[in-house]
Amino acid sequence: GWYGLVGAPTDVGNVDCGAAEGPGALRAMGLPRRMGMVDRGDVRGPAYDGRPDATGSRSVRETAAWCAAVRDGVAGVLADGGFPLMLGGDHAMALGSIAAAAAHARQEGRNFFVLWFDAHPDFNTPETTPSGNTHGYPAALACGIGHPDLLSVGAFTPLIRPDRLIQFGVRDIDAGERANLLRIGVEFHEMDAVREKGLEALVAHTIARIQAAGGGHVHVSFDIDALDPAAAPGVGTPVSGGLTPAETVGAMRLLGASGLVRSLDIVEFAPRHDRDGMTALTVEQVLAGFMAGRTGQRALVA
């Protein structure tokens, strides 16, 4: 199988945080070429508009346009038999890739799961957002709640059954957002649980649960701010106390080896906040771990 890179160089979801520069920076550093990816280029969309709409959300129209373009780019890779790797861009773009992956899973008659690695649940709605930034919305939108102009990016709603969304590494949860998660019934593993049980054990348990449910299409949405800022400072919304590169590489290797994962997002890389290329290096290690798992090789941690 081949990896089809779909770049989404935008930060319409996050007040000009610098995530728009992510795909270009990783290309300039040679990552897609080194990792043997097929570069399908960048999708395009409108510029950020910071004026909030009647719901207090910013750049909803722009986010919807970008997500629709991401959806079509990712759908194109899936239709061509590739493994889509959506490179953000801010995390709002995951609404587009999840819309494509969910439609593909439905078409192929597979159960659909999303594993979400993030410091944030991204489970706000216009009613609960403290910021109005649409990158705080995508997981909730995938579960069918949120701004109607964003829900319509998907061909159906909800794109995912809430009990099939599992989050890892969350540690910065807004009060209304936590209420949303509990009401909708999402499984989320906060950092204290990760420290207690181990990320790899949690992920192995999740893989076993998915296999017991008959397998399916697993989409992994990886926000780089899931990692500890000591290893990955190049993000717009860093939160201390995050995942180590070693445990993340291990978990990604398990996911690759499971054979269940059929699409992947890597989002929120903001090169302007990076130090000495260390975030890019960590991202490459995480990706290499996943790829090594898929081909049955041992993951190397530098």
Per CB under 6 A, residues contacting ligand ARG are 91, 120, 122, 124, 129-131, 133, 135-136, 174, 223, 225, 237, 268
With CB under 5 to 8 Å by kind, the binding choice for 187 among Mn ion, ligand ARG, none is: none
Q: Is residue 217 involved in binding Mn ion (CB under 5 A)?
A: no
Active site residue 163: no
**DSSP letter for each residue of the chain:** --EEEEEE---TTTTT-SGGGHHHHHHHTTHHHHTT-EEEEE---PPP---B-TTS-BSHHHHHHHHHHHHHHHHHHHHTT-EEEEEESSGGGHHHHHHHHHHHHHHTT--EEEEEE-SS-----TTT-SS--GGGSHHHHHTT-S-HHHHTTSSSS-SS-GGGEEEEEE----HHHHHHHHHHT-EEEEHHHHHHH-HHHHHHHHHHHHHHTT--EEEEEEEGGGB-TTT---SSS--SS-B-HHHHHHHHHHHHHHT-EEEEEEE---GGG-STTHHHHHHHHHHHHHHHHHHTPPPP--
Question: Considering beta carbons, is residue 200 or 225 the nearer one to Mn ion?
Answer: 225
Please report, as residue ranges, which positions from 224 to 243 form the binding site for Mn ion (by CB under 5 A). Answer: 225
Of 122, 56, 66, 133, the residue nearest 96 (C-alpha): 66
CB of 137 to ligand ARG, least distance (A): 7
CB of 209 to ligand ARG, least distance (A): 25
Contact code string over 109-128 relative to Mn ion, x by CB under 5 A? ---------xxx-x------
CB of 295 to Mn ion, least distance (A): 18
With CB under 5 to 8 Å by kind, the binding choice for 129 among ligand ARG, Mn ion, none is: ligand ARG
Of the candidate residues 223, 247, 265, 274, the single one contacting Mn ion (CB under 5 A): 223
With CB under 5 to 8 Å by kind, the binding choice for 131 among ligand ARG, Mn ion, none is: ligand ARG
Instruction: Identify the burial level of 212 via C-beta atoms within 10 angstroms of its C-beta, where 0-12 means exposed, 13-18 middle and 19 or more buried.
Output: exposed
**Distance in angstroms (rounded) separating the CA atoms of residues 112 and 97:** 13
How many residues form the binding site for Mn ion (CB under 5 A)? 7
CB of 204 to ligand ARG, least distance (A): 26
Which of these is catalytic: 11, 42, 90, 122? 122
Which of these is catalytic: 21, 42, 172, 223? 223
- How far is the CA of 100 from the CAs of 13, 31, 75, 132, 176, in angstroms? 19, 24, 5, 25, 28
Active site residue 108: no
Question: Considering beta carbons, is residue 111 or 131 the nearer one to ligand ARG?
Answer: 131
Active site residue 39: no
Which of these is catalytic: 90, 104, 135, 219? 135
Question: Considering beta carbons, is residue 82 or 136 the nearer one to ligand ARG?
Answer: 136
Active site residue 219: no
Active site residue 11: no
CB of 19 to Mn ion, least distance (A): 10
Active site residue 122: yes
Contact positions toward Mn ion, by CB under 5 A?
A: 91, 118-120, 122, 223, 225
Tell me which residues are annotated as active site.
Answer: 91, 118, 120, 122, 135, 223, 225, 268
